[in-house]
Amino acid sequence: MPLYYNHKPTGRPAKDDDKYTSKYIDAPSTPVFPFGYGLSYTTFRYSDLAVTPTKISPAGRVTVTVTVSNTGARQGDEVVQLYLHDRVSTVTRPVAELKGFRRLTIAPGGRETVTFALGSDQIGAFNRAMKWVVEPGQFDVRVGPNSAEGPTATFEVRP
């Protein structure tokens, strides 16, 4: 089955209680292990997600910060992944696009702040004329351990 994280939106997201949505009848429509999923001997918690500034021009940049805490009893490695979603676009964009990742080694009880910078080279896309553009609108940012989990925040691009 073509279950991948950066699929195009169907316009009818899967809802268990609605028979007129895009889903399988006899099985869940989500993968058992989402893209980026990994196992560890410890557990991690993501908190304090912040996007600054929350409004930028098409040539602007945003900084995304998140705190990752090791809540387990052992030292562990975590791959922190940043995904971006353009809510409205003139061309179809995926529901999630991997735009950055960082590998961390965190001691038990430790915490680390991870920072990502997003500019026009990560926010933009090719339009119908095949020109790279950053379109105005709202963008969702999710930072987490895989493509299906993690806190989310938004920012807006204004002309």
Closest CA to 123 of 155, 81, 148: 155
Q: Say what the pLDDT of residue 11 is.
A: 65
How many Cβ atoms sit within 10 Å of the Cβ of residue 14?
13
Q: What is the pLDDT of residue 33?
A: 86
d(CA 140, CA 154): 5
Q: What is the mean pLDDT of residues 73-87?
A: 97
What does the alpha-carbon distance between residue 156 and residue 64 come to, in Å, rounded to a whole number? 13
Token look-up 């080694």 returns 105
The CA distance from 95 to 54, in Å, is 20
List domains and CATH numbers for the chain.
Answer: 44-157 (2.60.40.10)
Residue with tokens 């961390």: 104
pLDDT score, position 6: 72
Q: Which pLDDT band holds residue 13 (cuts at 50, 70, 90)?
A: low
| pTM summary value | 0.87
Over pLDDT 90: what percentage of the chain? Answer: 74
Amino acid at 24: Y
Are the CB atoms for 107 and 68 separated by under 8 Å? no
In angstroms, rounded to a whole number, what is the distance separating the alpha carbons of residues 159 and 153?
21
Instruction: Give Cβ neighbours of residue 115 (< 8 Å, ≥ 6 apart).
Output: 63, 64, 65
Q: Does residue 4 surpass a pLDDT of 70?
A: no
Q: What pLDDT shows up at residue 85?
A: 96
Relative to beta strand 152-157, strand 55-56 is parallel
